[in-house]
Amino acid sequence: MSRKFLVALLLAVLILSPIGYLLYGYSKYDVSVNPDKPAPEHTYIVLRFPSGQYAVFTLPQYVNLTMRGFRIPKGTKGYAINVTGYITGIPEVDVNMTMNAPYQRFTIVLGDPSVKVCSSNPEEFTGSCSDRTAAVAEMSAFTATLFKRYYYVEALKNGMDEASARGYAYEETMKRHDTRYLSFMTKTSLGLGRIGNKDHLAVVLLGPAEGAEVNRVIVPRPGLIVLEGKSDGALRAEVVLIEKIMQFKWPTENQTTTSG
């Protein structure tokens, strides 16, 4: 066997091995965000009233209300949303565990790269730019608020005053915050578990531009939560639903009003 052949073989291995690794990760993306196995599922009804306020109900609560004569006000939008958890078997517990766990970093996946047109040519976007922007903004702010609690407490323990602790928590959180589009490399990272794991939280938004066909929130594994909506308005409602499940309250000036 000639030396040239061995060198060529070595180069081929060095080049093709990383490519094969990336392709393997990419092939695992679909099953990573949507495991092909049964899991417990709970259904919620989220209403968005003409005023912009939201109300969240479990399916039994909503059925009871309608049986007692409740009528949806004209102009209200309603979303039936399923919540599925693959960790403990209790969807609400999985949502709380995933969002409340301490992480080193967190990434918000905004959706398909076509989302970029919302900043220049929104009419070209498949969906609603205003609703997608609202969903991304609230989910990002919500996740960051949860994330920085640990650094705030850490700063207080180290003797900082409250104002300094808040500043420290904000700076540490922003250093660990990333946003991505659902590109080949992002799908590969999700498929390989390089993001969406016990150290790196990943929140993925999938709407009509990504081909979403159902309204659901999925927790496929620790560190990964997926919001899927047939419309971008449904994605926005799913953020509100997650906040409701976690009993999260915004400060008065930032709060999204919910009930139910």
Give the DSSP letter string of the chain.
--HHHHHHHHHHHHHHHHHHHHHHHHHTHHHHHS-SS---EEEEEEEE-TTS-EEEEEHHHHHHHHHTT--PPTT-EEEEEEEEESSSS-HHHHHHHHHHS--SEEEEE--SGGGGGGGT-GGGSSS-HHHHHHHHHHHHHHHHHHHTHHHHHHHHHTT--HHHHHHHHHHHHHHTEEEE-S-HHHHHHHHHTSSSSSSEEEEEEE-GGGT--S-EEEEEETTEEEEE-SSHHHHHHHHHHHHHHTT----TTTPPP---
Report the distance separating Cα 53 and Cα 70, nearest Å: 17
Q: Taking Cα atoms as reference points, which of 123, 122, 119, 143 lies closest to residue 204?
A: 143
pLDDT beyond 80 at 260: no
Copy the structure tokens of residue 103.
């992480």
Q: What local confidence, expressed as pLDDT, does residue 26 receive?
A: 85
Over residues 113-131, mean pLDDT: 92
pLDDT higher than threshold 50 for residue 253: no
Measure the CA–CA gap between 28 and 21, rounded to whole angstroms.
11
Q: What is the pLDDT of residue 257?
A: 46
- Note whether residue 259 is domain-resident: no
Contact criterion met (CB below 8 Å) for 111 and 206: yes
- Tallying the residues shown for the chain, one arrives at 260
> Could you give the angle at the alpha carbon of 240 between the alpha carbons of 77 and 231, nearest 5°?
45
Q: Is the pLDDT of residue 245 over 80?
A: yes
Residue whose C-alpha is closest to residue 128's, from 234, 225, 226, 52: 234
| 158 occurs within a structural domain | yes
Q: Is residue 251 part of a domain?
A: no
**In this predicted model, what pLDDT tens digit does every residue of 137-181 receive, in sequence order?**
999 999 999 999 999 999 999 999 999 999 999 999 999 999 999
Range of the domain at 67: 3-245
Residue 11 lies in a domain: yes
Q: What is the dihedral of CA 184, 190, 196, 200, to 10 degrees?
A: -60
Q: Write down the mean pLDDT value for the chain.
A: 90
Positive or negative CA dihedral for 190, 192, 194, 196?
Answer: positive
pLDDT class for 27, splitting at 50, 70, 90? confident
For residue 253, is it within any domain? no
Q: Is 113 contained in some domain? A: yes
Reduced 3-state DSSP string for 71-134: CCCCCCEEEEEEEEECCCCCHHHHHHHHHHCCCCEEEEECCCHHHHHHHCCHHHCCCCHHHHHH
* 119 domain residue, yes or no: yes
6 falls in which pLDDT band (50, 70, 90)? low
What pLDDT is stored for residue 119 in this prediction?
Answer: 87
Evaluate whether residue 254 is within a structural domain.
no
- Give the rounded percent of residues in the chain with a pLDDT score beyond 70: 88
Per the structure, how many domains does the chain have?
Answer: 1
